[in-house]
Structure 1
Amino acid sequence: MQKDIFVVGLMVDERSTKAPDVQQVITRYGSNILCRNGIPSPSRERGIITLTMEATEEEYRQMERELQELQGVTVDSIHFRQPESFQVCHQS
């Protein structure tokens, strides 16, 4: 099954109360996440998280659905389809 690259942006309203629920979903997909970046400023009402994932489209869509079920979480993404000749670098 082909895995593609997804760059996922999350906007989390009421960051201080929603962060544990968002983290729980992200943790379930941790094996697909290559990189995570966040703005953790406690003075902000909103949090921004970006994820770079290597996943099948089905894996990504499932995570997206779970995140969108959380009130106050907005999800948007860019999908880079990988031709068979392109390989993501993996550490051995």
Structure 2
Amino acid sequence: MQKDIYVVGMMVDERGSKAPDVQQVITRYGDKILCRNGIPSPSRERGIITLTMEATPEDYQRMEQDLKGLKGVTVESIHFSQPESFQLCENR
């Protein structure tokens, strides 16, 4: 099954109280995440997390629905469709 690349941005309001719920969703899809970056400033009420994923469209849609189901979490993404012949990384 073809996997595509998704760059997912999340803005998390009330970061301190929402972080465990967001982390639970991210962990559930952890085997599809290639890179994670976060801005966890303790002095701010909002946090920003970016993920780069390699996933099937169905897996991405499930994760997006799970995240959007959390109050105070905004999700935006960029989708890069890759042909099956494209290798993200190749060991030689």
Residue by residue over 1:4-57, the C-alpha shift from the partner in whole angstroms, topping out at 9 and shown as x without a partner, is: 000000000000000000000000000000000000110010000000000000
Structure 1's unaligned 5+ residue stretches are none
What SS is found at the alignment partner of 2:75?
strand
CA RMSD of aligned residues (A): 1.4
TM-fit CA distance, 1:84: 2.2
Q: Structure 1 counterpart of 2:10, which letter?
A: L
Structure 2 unmatched ranges of 5 or more? none
Letter in 1 for 2:75: V
Q: Which residue of 2 aligns with 1:43?
A: 43
Alpha carbons of 1:72 and 1:90: their partners in 2 closer, same or farther (altered >3 Å)?
Answer: farther
Deviation at 1:90, TM superposition (A): 5.8
Matched, 1:29 2:22: no
Paired residues, number: 92
Equivalent residue for 1:59? Answer: 59
**Structure 1 equivalent of residue 19 of structure 2:** 19
Q: How far apart in 1 are the matches of 2:67 and 2:46?
A: 15
* C-alpha distance 90-51 of structure 1, shift in aligned 2 (>3 A): farther
Q: Which residue of 2 aligns with 1:69?
A: 69
The runs of at least 4 consecutive aligned structure 1 residues that moved more than 2 Å come to none
